[in-house]
């Protein structure tokens, strides 16, 4: 049965509802973020806003306080879920490296070097953005050249367009397709914290006016207000600080990644088109559709790799191990046979050289060398008997008192027309009987 894209996805993302929702690998932190929003909002609605329903009889303003708190909480939760469960702008991985790149020119395919050409990719490329040349980098994991402002997230293991950062509280990368919702989530959370803090302080003021003349008596009367105000005071420094920081980034058309990485380099920002245009780009431009159809059926593409390069699926598993073992064994066997043959030829050459260097008046050296050569050729190179190079050869010559004589075991193979061991002076021609 054919699988869908999200079932064979190579990134670290987690999917829900059949690939309709895509989360980061740390999606569990999303539950903590939801609790940090719901719990204080619930405490405020139950113990504070409910008691303010009848404090403002004109126009039923007390009900508006409760409704605004509930609506703002739902709005923040919705933005959180959209930011976390949305494709942030993942660039699909390439099935193979770029085909137009270079081979190692030092290795010839037609030569006898026996080497496989290696693909070599330039690590950067030059592209023109708004009339300025910028460099883009090659991603070894995704096997593609990243578009401008794209970076590879090591947590999600994906290349993300206009990568801002990976937010652990959202459990997702923040990129081109969810940055708008992330900023709205952070800014709305800031507004919610300020609103809850202000309404809690208002309730303390009403308690003081109603008979509790001091702040301490009012705080003792409503400990929920103390807890909520303390929580909102601490939280607003985080979400409020993020809101101010991202307002600065939007106004200068930067990302968090670019700001932290290139701050010290004083690099020209080619994407800055003015404060107003930068805000329009973030909030009033159409969000591009996702480049990934996670519910699509996986279709195997035909391999377009050069014919001279081995693919990963050519030899795998046991076939790869068996192939390597067979090759090594064949090389060892061939080396052993060559060493045997070389050893025999060396010994044979030594004997011939030794006999040629003897003085005249000796025995017929050419005859004995020929006999030794024939004996050496009769030995097998492989199989049968094992050749032992350490075994000394038995010489057919015996040296006695400065004269050379044939060994007895070679007499039977002597020519009948040659008198064994007797020659003319220093000549090489045998004397006939």
Q: Determine the Cα–Cα distance for residues 165 and 178; give it in Å rounded to an integer.
A: 11
List all residues 6 or more positions away from 304 whose beta carbon is below 8 Å from its beta carbon.
96, 99
34 is written with which tokens? 């939801």
Q: What is the DSSP string of 364-409?
A: -HHHHHHHHHHHHHTS-SSSSSPP-TTSPP--SEEEETTEEEE-GG
List all residues 6 or more positions away from 261 whose beta carbon is below 8 Å from its beta carbon.
none
Number of H helices and number of E strands within the chain?
Answer: 9, 13
Which residue bears the tokens 């699509």? Answer: 296
Q: Determine the Cα–Cα distance for residues 418 and 276; give it in Å rounded to an integer.
A: 116
Which residue bears the tokens 């973020």? Answer: 33
Q: Which of 156, 167, 193, 232 is catalytic?
A: 167
Which residue bears the tokens 């090659």? Answer: 138
CB atoms within 10 A of CB 263: 10
> Smallest Cα–Cα separation from 83: which of 164, 184, 153?
184
Phi/psi for 102 (5° steps) reads -100, 155
Q: Determine the Cα–Cα distance for residues 333 and 330; give it in Å rounded to an integer.
A: 5
Asked if 167 is an active-site residue, the reply is: yes
CA atoms within 13 A on the CB side of 19: 14
Element (H, E) at 41: helix 29-47
Active site residues: 167
């Amino acid at each position: 049965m054919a699988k869908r894209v999200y079932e064979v996805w190579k990134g670290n993302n987690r999917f829900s509802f059949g690939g309709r929702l895509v989360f980061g690998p740390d999606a569990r932190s999303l539950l903590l973020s939801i609790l940090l929003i719901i719990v204080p909002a619930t405490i405020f609605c139950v113990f504070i806003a409910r008691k303010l329903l009848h404090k403002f009889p004109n126009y039923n303003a007390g009900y508006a306080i409760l409704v605004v708190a509930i609506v703002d909480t739902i709005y923040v939760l919705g933005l959180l879920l959209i930011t976390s469960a949305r494709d942030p702008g993942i660039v699909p991985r390439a099935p193979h490296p770029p085909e137009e790149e270079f081979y190692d020119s030092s290795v010839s395919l037609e030569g006898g070097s026996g080497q496989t050409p290696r693909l070599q990719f330039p690590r950067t490329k030059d592209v023109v953005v708004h009339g300025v040349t910028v460099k883009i980098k090659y991603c070894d994991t995704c096997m593609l050249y990243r578009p401008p402002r794209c970076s590879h997230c090591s947590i999600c293991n994906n290349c993300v367009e206009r990568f801002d950062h990976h937010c652990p509280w959202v459990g997702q990368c923040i990129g081109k397709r969810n940055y708008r919702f992330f900023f709205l989530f952070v800014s709305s959370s800031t507004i919610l914290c300020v609103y809850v803090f202000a309404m809690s302080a208002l309730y303390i003021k009403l308690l003081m006016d109603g008979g509790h003349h001091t702040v301490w008596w009012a705080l003792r009367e409503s400990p929920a207000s103390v807890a909520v105000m303390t929580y909102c005071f601490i939280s607003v420094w985080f979400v409020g600080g993020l809101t101010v920081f991202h307002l600065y980034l939007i106004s200068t058309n930067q990302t968090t990644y670019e700001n932290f990485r290139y701050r010290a380099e004083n690099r020209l920002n080619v994407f800055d088109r003015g404060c107003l245009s930068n805000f329009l780009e973030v909030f009033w431009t159409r969000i591009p559709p996702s480049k990934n159809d996670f519910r699509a059926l996986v279709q195997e593409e035909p391999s377009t790799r050069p014919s001279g390069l081995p693919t990963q699926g050519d030899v795998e598993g046991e076939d790869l191990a068996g192939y390597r073992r067979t090759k090594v064994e064949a090389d060892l066997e061939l080396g052993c046979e060559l060493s045997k043959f070389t050893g025999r030829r060396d010994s044979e050459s030594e004997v011939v050289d030794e006999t040629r260097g003897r003085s005249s008046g000796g025995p017929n050296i050419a005859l004995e060398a020929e006999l030794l050569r024939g004996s050496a050729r009769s030995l097998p190179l492989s199989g049968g008997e094992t050749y032992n190079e350490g075994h000394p050869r038995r010489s057919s010559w015996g040296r006695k008192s400065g004269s050379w004589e044939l060994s007895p075991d070679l007499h039977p193979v002597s020519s009948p027309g040659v008198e064994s061991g007797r020659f003319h002076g220093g000549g090489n021609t045998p004397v006939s009987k």
